[in-house]
Amino acid sequence: MPHHWNKKRIDNLLNLIDIYRVKPIFHGNFKVPLAADVSEIRRAAIAYTKKEIDLASYLNAPLIIHGGVVVEPRLIKAAKQNAIEQYVVSISELLEYALQKQVALYLENLCNYKHYRPFHYIFTHLEEIEYVFSRLAGVYLYLDVGHANVCDGNPVELIQRYHDKIIGMSFSNNDGTRDQHFGLNKGKINYEQIIKIIIDSNWSGIIGFETRGKTTSESICELNTIYRRVITKH
């Protein structure tokens, strides 16, 4: 969180960035309610996210932000529509601020949980993503493939539709009911299909891994094995 970063810590990280030539991405707090139906809460969320943008600016890093959540709405469909509209308003203001700070904003999709939860994440599925991109320019999607698979999601369709808007992808697997962060070979996501559509669409960008219990090297090896199967078959 931004208040955990003082000048000494920032300078130390900038020194490491220079030594190792590794460019960071700042993953913002996914709990920030940028789509809140309470205006005072939403204004506070915008103010907080501007602090994340400030920190990203110091680190010369893009910022990943999320849609947040609405809690226990009585009329779910109307509440979610209002929330995605408020999210667009929030992002519009943040885009102006980020432009001044020379920070790129990447929008990450959350899980479209449908059952047994007293809340509803915003910016989760194809229709909401389409709504945001139809109203905003200068933003990109950081596609969490695991999130996109939850509750009848279709990450392959998202890649097909928005590969030109996707700046990066986060890879993990799950059983389709919740975000379990399995390795690529365990779960219902067919990563051969994912890799095939990436190749077919000539997509290039950032690949990140959120696979619990596996090192980055192990995840890269899994991905490499899947890739080789795909190119052998096709």
On the question of pLDDT at 86 being above 70, the answer is yes
Q: State residue 115's pLDDT score.
A: 75
Exposed / middle / buried, residue 210 (Cβ in 10 Å: 0-12, 13-18, 19+) = middle
Average pLDDT over every residue of 197-211: 95
On the question of pLDDT at 162 being above 90, the answer is yes
Q: State residue 20's pLDDT score.
A: 96
Q: One fold for both 1-133 and 139-234? A: yes
What band does 116 get if pLDDT is binned at 50, 70 and 90? Answer: low
Average pLDDT over every residue of 192-212: 95
User: pLDDT per residue over 36-61, tens digit each?
Assistant: 988 999 999 999 999 999 999 999 99
Domain parsing of the chain, residue ranges: 1-133, 139-234
Let me know how long the chain is. 234
**What fold does the segment set 1-133 form as a domain?**
TIM Barrel (3.20.20)
Q: How far lies 12's CA from each of 9, 18, 57, 62, in Å? A: 5, 10, 15, 19
Q: State residue 6's pLDDT score.
A: 95
Specify the CATH number of the domain 139-234: 3.20.20.150
Q: State residue 144's pLDDT score.
A: 98
- Percentage of residues in the chain having pLDDT higher than 70: 100
